[in-house]
Amino acid sequence: MLEPDLDILDELVAAEIQSETAKHYEGPQADQKQLQLVETAGIPTGVAPDIHRQVELRKAKRCRAG
């Protein structure tokens, strides 16, 4: 009976670590520069604006709830 509760707790800890790792790498890195479309041979890189907007909305919602 205790094992499922401990499994849930393990998942919560893992999720928190994953969240902190994502926060650490969020935004531009020191050695990262924005590549121009010509430099990427026409292949888009990064996150599309609509996906970025959805992520930001979810973050704002999570901040309001927490």
Q: Mark the ranges of the chain whose per-residue pLDDT is less than 50.
A: none
Residue 9 is encoded by which pair of tokens?
């707790």
CA distance 26 to 24: 6
**What pLDDT, on a 0 to 100 scale, did the predictor assign at position 50?**
80
φ, ψ dihedrals at 32, nearest 5°: -100, 135
**What pLDDT, on a 0 to 100 scale, did the predictor assign at position 1?**
86
CA 22 from chain centre, in angstroms, equals: 5
**What pLDDT, on a 0 to 100 scale, did the predictor assign at position 65?**
85
Place of tokens 């704002």: 60
Place of tokens 């902190």: 20
pTM attached to this predicted model: 0.42
